[in-house]
Amino acid sequence: MNKKRVGIIGAGPSGLAQLRAFEAAKKQGLEVPEVVCFEKQSNWGGMWNYSWRTGVGKYGEPAHGSMYKYLWSNGPKECLEFSDYSFDEHFKKPISSYPPRPVLFDYIQGRIKKNNVRDYIRFNTTVRWVSYDEDSKKFKVVLDNLKIDKTYSEEFDYLVVASGHFSTPNMPYFEGIEQFPGQVLHAHDFRGADPYKDQDLLIIGSSYSAEDIGVQCHKHGAKSVTLSYRSNPIGVNWPEGIEEVPLLKYFEGNTAYFKDGTSKSFDAVIMCTGYQHKFPFLPDELRLKTKNNLYPDHLYKGVFFNDVPNMIYLGMQDQYYTFNMFDTQAWVARDFMMDRYKLPSKAERRLDINKWLIENEKLKSSFDHVDFQTAYIKDLLNLSDYPDFNVEKVAEMFKEWLQDKDENILTYRDKTFQSVVTGTMAETHHTEWMDELDDSKERYLFQEQSEEALEET
Ligand code: FAD
Ligand code: NA7
């Protein structure tokens, strides 16, 4: 009998989780389907694979990356730790709770390099279009090999969409913006705080990107940072040099006028106004249509597209949990694709989705959001053999993290947490975050080593 074929779109943390899940089954001696992963970039890691490029990539595809220089983990690493590959196993010593991007990229790669999963990935390959044949129950996937500029197609029994949803900007219009004399960009194109040194910076938005880009620019020498919110302010205890104001109404030249009647002149504007779930390679009947939220409609268990459940989406939720959530999803998806986990009827699936949607509607506070996603992870953990971890403890850490940010947005990254995987307590980083201007892996790890060495002498 021919092996079933699984296509995975994207080799970011979600796609890599799917590959790792299949490898784990293979290690147990189980027969796994034939798996092919398509990645339009030349390397894996998704967002964590930093690119200086904006606009388009080398081959003219929309640039995927939204991460920037000086990006440090915005939550404790203990909240995202893989439960089958600990930080201790990777770094061989305790590290701090908030590592910079290159260090987390290294960690993601470490687990994957232990297996031969690179062989399953076709890099520089964009998924151009997908169609589904109801009779044969197969997906036809049209692909572009970007390097040799060749289009071809292949068929799959299952398709896993792991293409991320923080890449296509949501870019609102404000009256007069077309005449604004300075730079106007979306967070997607922000590549570091350096250009905003000594500048008065206006940031629109009040979520993760606004908070982090605002704080990074403050840290790296912006003259002032003004955050303009639509619904709710971030509301933390801002230091001098950062302030929050209600929504921008319009610009006149370089002056911005806000809803509360105040105004200020700016050198640059960064729209931290979120992203669109965008799947230009999917037809209507297969496409997830949702805003960024904790439980997108139409996905049973947050992964199986209810109309066509052989179509699987990973990581489409708004995220408190990240790497470990992608894992819990990928393990359940794998078991379904290997006939080890059976789905209930479409109507039953709909009822289950509705149950989660109703709960999602009731959420008010950030703590409620954490509890909701924690319940979701627990539900998934019950469905596969992904190594159990203390999710309740992780939820507590998320709440502590939220409180730390409220108390002091400039020092929360100096705090340390305890791993639920190994019990190891994180190290205090050698330099306080506000004084640390170098985000390289070498500096992050080397300094710790040299301090250790110093202690030994
Ligand atoms: P992605 O990482 O986006 O990967 C998707 C992959 O799919 C990419 O490699 C892309 O090239 C590929 N792809 C897309 N379309 C196609 C196509 N048509 N054909 C072939 N390949 C395609 N999370 C944290 O845990 N901690 C943080 O500190 C943190 N900071 C963040 C900061 C920023 C600025 C952003 C944008 C996100 C941040 N996140 C953070 C969340 C982050 O998105 C997740 O950690 C994680 O990268 C999501 O993984 P993913 O695989 O689902 O998507
Ligand atoms: P989010 O978390 O989706 O937040 C988007 C923000 O943009 C949010 O504050 C919105 O305000 C605001 N927004 C959206 N449209 C507008 C308009 N038209 N006007 C003003 N404000 C608007 O995206 P982020 O980029 O912050 O975070 C995404 C990921 O990147 C995250 O995982 C991080 O780790 C990094 P609202 O509250 O809806 O009024």
Residue 128: other Cβ atoms inside 10 A: 17
Under 8 Å CB-to-CB from 260, ≥6 apart: which residues? 245, 246
User: From the CA of 271, which ligand is nearest?
Assistant: 2
DSSP track, 71-118: -B-SS-GGGT-BTTB-HHHHHSS---SS-BHHHHHHHHHHHHHTTTGG
User: From the CA of 278, which ligand is nearest?
Assistant: 1
Number of alpha carbons in the 13 Å side-chain half-sphere of residue 338: 22
- Alpha carbon of 110 to ligand 1 centroid (Å): 17
Query: Does the beta carbon of 98 sit less than 6 angstroms from any atom of ligand 2?
Result: no
Query: Does the beta carbon of 274 sit less than 6 angstroms from any atom of ligand 2?
Result: yes
Quick one: tokens of 218?
A: 């403050």
Nearest-CA residue for ligand 2 atom 36 is 231
Atom of ligand 2 nearest to the CA of 319: 32
pTM above 0.95, yes or no: yes
ipTM score assigned to the predicted complex: 0.99
DSSP track, 308-365: STTEEE-S-S--SS-HHHHHHHHHHHHHHHTTSS----HHHHHHHHHHHHHHHHH--S
Cα–Cα distance between 298 and 306 in angstroms, integer?
Answer: 5
Q: Which pLDDT score is estimated for 447?
A: 53
Nearest-CA residue for ligand 2 atom 30 is 209
- Under a CB-based contact definition with an 8 Å cutoff, are residues 332 and 35 in contact? no
Cα–Cα distance between 45 and 67 in angstroms, integer?
Answer: 12
Assign residue 394 a region: left if phi > 0, alpha if psi is -120 to 50, beta otherwise? alpha
Query: Does the beta carbon of 127 sit less than 6 angstroms from any atom of ligand 1?
Result: yes
Atom of ligand 2 nearest to the CA of 273: 7
Quick one: tokens of 155?
A: 């068929």
DSSP track, 3-63: PPEEEEE--SHHHHHHHHHHHHHHHTT----EEEEE-SSSSS-GGGS-----SB-TTSSBP
Nearest-CA residue for ligand 2 atom 32 is 319
Cα–Cα distance between 241 and 196 in angstroms, integer?
Answer: 13
Q: Is 456 helix (H, G, I), strand (E, B) or coil?
A: helix
pLDDT in tens, the chain (457 residues): 679 999 999 999 999 999 999 999 999 999 999 999 999 999 999 999 999 999 999 999 999 999 999 999 999 999 999 999 999 999 999 999 999 999 999 999 999 998 888 999 999 999 999 999 999 999 999 999 999 999 999 999 999 999 999 999 999 999 999 999 999 999 999 999 999 999 999 999 999 999 999 999 999 999 999 999 999 999 999 999 999 999 999 999 999 999 999 999 999 999 999 999 999 999 999 999 999 999 999 999 999 999 999 999 999 999 999 999 999 999 999 999 999 999 999 999 999 999 999 999 999 999 999 999 999 999 999 999 999 999 999 999 999 999 999 999 999 999 999 999 999 999 999 999 999 999 999 999 975 444 544 444 3
- Under a CB-based contact definition with an 8 Å cutoff, are residues 181 and 252 in contact? no
Nearest-CA residue for ligand 1 atom 24 is 322
Atom of ligand 2 nearest to the CA of 66: 30
Query: Does the beta carbon of 40 sit less than 6 angstroms from any atom of ligand 1?
Result: yes
Mutate-to-test residue for ligand 1 from 16, 47, 324, highest number of ligand atoms within 8 A of CB: 47
Tell me, rounded to whole angstroms, the distance of Cα 225 from its chain centroid.
25
User: From the CA of 190, which ligand is nearest?
Assistant: 1
What is the bridge-based pairing of β-strands 255-258 and 263-265? antiparallel
Compute φ and ψ for 107, nearest 5 degrees: -65, -45
Nearest-CA residue for ligand 1 atom 9 is 46
Tell me, rounded to whole angstroms, the distance of Cα 336 from its chain centroid.
24
- Alpha carbon of 408 to ligand 2 centroid (Å): 21
User: From the CA of 235, which ligand is nearest?
Assistant: 2
Atom of ligand 1 nearest to the CA of 165: 3
Atom of ligand 1 nearest to the CA of 68: 34
Residue 159: other Cβ atoms inside 10 A: 24
Q: Which pLDDT score is estimated for 26?
A: 95
Q: Which pLDDT score is estimated for 114?
A: 85
Q: Which pLDDT score is estimated for 430?
A: 92
Using CA atoms, how far residue 206 sits from 173, 311, 383, in Å, is: 17, 33, 36
Nearest-CA residue for ligand 2 atom 9 is 206
Cα–Cα distance between 210 and 272 in angstroms, integer?
Answer: 5
